[in-house]
Structure 1
Amino acid sequence: MQMLIKNVNINYSNYENNSDISLVFLHGWGQNIEMMLPIAKPFLKKYNVLIIDLPGFGLSDEPVETWTGYDYADAVYELVTKLKIKSPIIIGHSFGGKIGIIYSLKYKVKKLVLLASPFKRKVTKDTLRIKIYKTMKKIPLLRKLESFAKKHVGSTDYRNASNVMRKVLVNHVNLDLTEEIKNIKCPVLLIWGSNDSAVPLSDAKELEKLIPNAGLVIYDSI
């Protein structure tokens, strides 16, 4: 199914079970509905479940202009509202988790579940690669090396994205929610792997301290 939200066709799967509990699943960068189905499947017959192809991924259109995490959260809210879903439980992985954080800060949420979700701006190998690649593109002599830069310098996510989505990715990486995170009012469940290299366990422990009503579940050797 698709719906026009903020001038963007958004693809989604909506499973209705006349339950008082509604779950909204938000995938990570480069993912889609199909990749979230294994996580959502145990809940499909018991709860109302909404799985979204976030704009720019899966079968959803790309944003017409460069979106921030706030634009994504607003789009999710508009879709949720049009589907008459009230006070959902938001379940977000990585990029989707960051959108879920913003959603919970702006709109009514029953609970928030974050799966290895970043919340602050951090200089990582990937962000450094993105900065180096963007700098190379600005230097005339190095523009000739753009194809080399795309292949060897930019992060995989950055290289594979369109121009609009590259800017969205940069916005995502640079968005720091450290100060806002303490204002989350709903209960939050943090689910992390002990060996997560993209979003380290130390970030999860920091989140647990910052969020007033948060609990952390750690899966060893993941």
Structure 2
Amino acid sequence: MEIVIDNLKVSYNQYGEGKNIVLLHGWGQNKEMMDLLGKKLDGYKITSIDLPGFGKSDEPKKLMTVYDYVHFLHKLIEKLNLKDISLIGHSFGARLSLVYASIYKVDKVISLAGPIYKSEVDKTLKVRILKFLGKIPFLKPIKEWFKNFIGSSDYKNSSEIMRQVLISTINTSVEEDMLKVKIPTLLIWGTKDDAVDVEDARKVVEKMHDAALIEFDGLTHYAYLENLTQVVNIIKNFI
């Protein structure tokens, strides 16, 4: 399905019935990555989104900051007439979810390894994503898509804006935003996450109003997929 927000075409999937959950993917990924989780969340109405610049959605015409993405997301949620939503985001999408919850009305929010502080550009991110996707059999089709995407002329020709977005994003700390979140918040992390250190989550969760941290020993930045069944049960008990 598609919708137009601020003259940008946005691709999204919607399925199920029940409480509204909006799924937001990580950097360099798409809604299909989050649908691996969403399809297991029976009893909920799931909306998974290709954020601008990713998947089948249009690339932004100019730099979008974290806050630009959040306000854009709010327009999309309003246009889709989604009420009483909970947000679940992975990595970049988790960062957006937490900032969104600090500004707009949300029932609950789940951060799956969302970056909190400023960080350096990770030049090996694509390599690590490919290695992970190749390890799990049902993710191999996504690995092939990802390889094609990062090697395609479309990506190379349109990536200048997205490189600016990435630099802006990693130079943005969202700790202060997280401390403004008053709703129930759940952080889920793998202790072997080498993209976003679990220690960051341990530091901030103690300062938050109504938050808890669940750690999966030995799992990585993709803990939500590596232990999908347990994460689904945790989400159902939380939301």
Corresponding residue for residue 39 of structure 1: 37
Post-superposition Cα deviations, 1:84-114, rounded to whole Å, max 9, x if no partner, equal 1113110010000111111101100000100
Please give the TM-score of this superposition, normalised by the length of structure 1: 0.80
> Alignment partner for residue 204 of structure 1, among 177, 201, 213?
201
Shift, 1:179, TM fit: 2.2
Shift, 1:35, TM fit: 1.1
Q: Structure 1 residue 184 and structure 2 residue 164: aligned?
A: no
Return closer, same or farther for 1:125/1:25 CA change in 2, 3 Å cut-off.
Answer: closer
Q: Residues of 2 paired with 1:59 and 1:194: CA distance?
A: 32
Residues 1-222 of structure 1: pairs in structure 2 closer than 5 A: 1-17=1-17, 19=18, 21-43=19-41, 45-122=42-119, 124=120, 126=122, 162-222=159-219
Post-superposition Cα deviations, 1:146-186, rounded to whole Å, max 9, x if no partner, equal xxxxxxxxxx9xx9671100000011100112223211011
Shift, 1:78, TM fit: 1.1
Question: Residue 23 of structure 2: SS of its match in structure 1?
Answer: strand
Task: Check conservation: 1:65, 1:164, Cα contact below 8 A.
Answer: yes
Q: Residues of 1 paired with 2:11 and 2:168: CA distance?
A: 23
Structure 1 or 2, whichever has the larger Rg, is 1
Q: Count residues with an aligned counterpart.
A: 188
Shift, 1:16, TM fit: 4.4
Q: Residues of 2 paired with 1:88 and 1:53: CA distance?
A: 18
Task: Check conservation: 2:121, 2:170, Cα contact below 8 A.
Answer: no
Return closer, same or farther for 1:85/1:125 CA change in 2, 3 Å cut-off.
Answer: closer
Task: Check conservation: 2:11, 2:49, Cα contact below 8 A.
Answer: yes
Shift, 1:64, TM fit: 1.0
Q: Residues of 2 paired with 1:195 and 1:97: CA distance?
A: 18
Letter in 1 for 2:122: D
Question: Residue 64 of structure 1: SS of its match in structure 2?
Answer: coil
Q: Give me the CA root mean square deviation.
A: 1.8
Post-superposition Cα deviations, 1:89-143, rounded to whole Å, max 9, x if no partner, equal 1001000011111110110000010000011113x4628xxxxxxxxxxxxxxxx
Shift, 1:75, TM fit: 1.5
Structure 2 gaps of 5+ residues are 124-150, 220-239
Letter in 2 for 1:111: K
Question: Residue 210 of structure 1: SS of its match in structure 2?
Answer: coil
Q: Residues of 2 paired with 1:87 and 1:73: CA distance?
A: 17
Task: Check conservation: 1:88, 1:109, Cα contact below 8 A.
Answer: yes
Task: Check conservation: 1:8, 1:61, Cα contact below 8 A.
Answer: yes
Structure 1 runs (4+) deviating above 4 angstroms are none
Structure 1 gaps of 5+ residues are 128-155
Q: Residues of 1 paired with 2:78 and 2:14: CA distance?
A: 13
